Amino acid sequence: MLTLRSVRTSAIAMAVIVSGATTVAWRSDSVPLPTLKVVKSASCGCCSAWVAYMKQQGFTVTTEDKDEFTALKRSNGVTAQLESCHTAFVGGYVIEGHVPADLVKGLLAEKPAGIKGLAAPGMPQSAPGMDAPGQHYTVYSFDAAGHAKIYAER
């Protein structure tokens, strides 16, 4: 049986939860994300789709179109095994391929030691910017020498 006291207690608890969620959302929005610079091929539609996705996720994005940028990838720790279609730079990190925005934001917030960047090798069909559901894929962290470890499974 509901009493006035139990209803009041529930209402207070709900107000605290909503207030806390609002504070968390406000704080997360109050710190601007660093600009994401994406190097990509001008003719790659999925790269442009990933750029649009990252903008929707709150990033300011600049792009540079290049026909060839393998040397840029290698000089930033991206090995042939980690390679994808575009390379991005944000907050001192390298982001290779269709890495989800939440993982990039987590990397920027956590700043884990020894990580040079994140990579979603190849072109996983269910990754952001590709958007064909169903394919499992792995996102790797890597160091400056290109040594990779599993960072997330999607």
CA geometry: angle 108, 111, 113, nearest 5 deg: 150
pLDDT at position 51: 98
- Domain residue ranges in the chain: 1-31, 32-153
- How many residues in the chain? 154
Q: 77-97: buried (b, 16+ CB within 10 Å) or exposed (e) per residue?
A: bbbeebbbbbbbbbeebbbbb
Strands 117-120 and 93-97: parallel
Q: List, for residues 47-100, the tens digit of each pLDDT value.
A: 999 999 999 999 999 999 999 999 999 999 999 999 999 999 999 999 999 999
Q: Which CATH class is domain 32-153?
A: alpha beta
